Amino acid sequence: MEMSSEKFPNAIMITEDQVHEVLKQVKYPGFSRDIISFGLVKNVRIDDDGVYVQMAITATDTGVPKRIKEDAIKVLEAVPGIGKVTVKIDIQMPVAKPPMSAASIEGVSHVIAVASGKGGVGKSTVASNLASALAFTGAKVGLCDCDIYGPSMALMFGSKERPMADENDRILPVESHGIRLMSMGFLLDDDAPAVLRGPMVTRYTQQFLRQVAWGELDYLVLDLPPGTGDIQLTIVQTVALAGAIVVTTPQEVALVDVRKAVAMFHKTNVPILGIIENMSYFLCPSDGIRYDIFGSGGGEREAARLDIPLLGEIPIDIATREAGDLGRPIVDQDPNGPVGSAFVRVANILRNQLEEAPVR
């Protein structure tokens, strides 16, 4: 597959370094990083006829190399006097790898998955504040945003830092408010969607878990996407979990999906650490009256029915929403407030649970 353009037959030669610099304008589709930093350009040849560029891309979607080729030719042809531009791409299919067995993560004592059967229950808010609460109790904590399509931790921890790599080509997590973080949100521009097919999502999920230099951690919290799909199964097959927490709200429509999430973890032999009922109630700041906006007691009844612990009931308030939007979890901002103290209680319960039990 070649695309050529004949312009300026009496070419004015440019250097290979200049060609590489021009090609930095070409972004990998769906990412803010360019094709040079991804290492896709394998060879640049310059002669009297013009410029020849050789690339190699591993992809299952032929639209990706086609787009890269078109963009590369466009930016190169814009260079005055460059001559004929030829771009050739060697498309390589991903090598199928045998499924990996679940294993521990080097340096990490306990890996906790935070899940929900459905969206809209505040799972990411719970995951971010649970991580902050565990850190508040004195633990070393990391948080991995496994929601590849809808990453939110970069916003919730107020960081736009790009992850770097160490000398062993492992990803160094971003640190914010005392938590080590990894999220697709650090790799994408604010308005860039993660346009990825299933195999690529699986690969990124595995890389976030296995190829990040987490260092020594007492707890690594995984913020799973809602539901019971491929990403959740990839995670339980990739890393040994100390257990899972299921987030719900009190109403029945959310509790129905709790049962599905719990059933998935039971089928994959992952211990259920308990249920957290989020948005459990509202305390009016003016008079302290409690309002059960979404009903009451749903999480407690479901925990009793499933014979698993109810870890905590987290109230809903404006400060929690504002803290998330401002990039500082409410626990870090106000650990002694009604929401912060509820998360700290949950963190202490979990520490007592996990540090008395053997790590799976």
Sorted by where each starts, the structural domains of the chain and their CATH numbers stand as: 2-92 (3.30.300.130), 108-356 (3.40.50.300)
Q: What is the pLDDT of residue 298?
A: 79
pLDDT of residue 113: 92
How does DSSP assign 147-173, residue by residue?
A: -SSS--HHHHTT--PPPEE-TTSPEEP
What pLDDT, on the 0 to 100 scale, is given for residue 149?
72
Contact (Cβ atoms closer than 8 angstroms) between residue 293 and residue 329: no
Give the pLDDT of residue 264: 85
Sites in the chain below the pLDDT cut of 50:
1-11, 96-100, 192-193, 195, 357-360
Backbone angles phi, psi at 195, to 5 degrees: -90, 90
Q: Is 183 exposed, middle or buried (0-12, 13-18, 19+ CB in 10 A)?
A: buried
State pLDDT tens for residues 304-326: 888 889 999 999 988 888 888 88
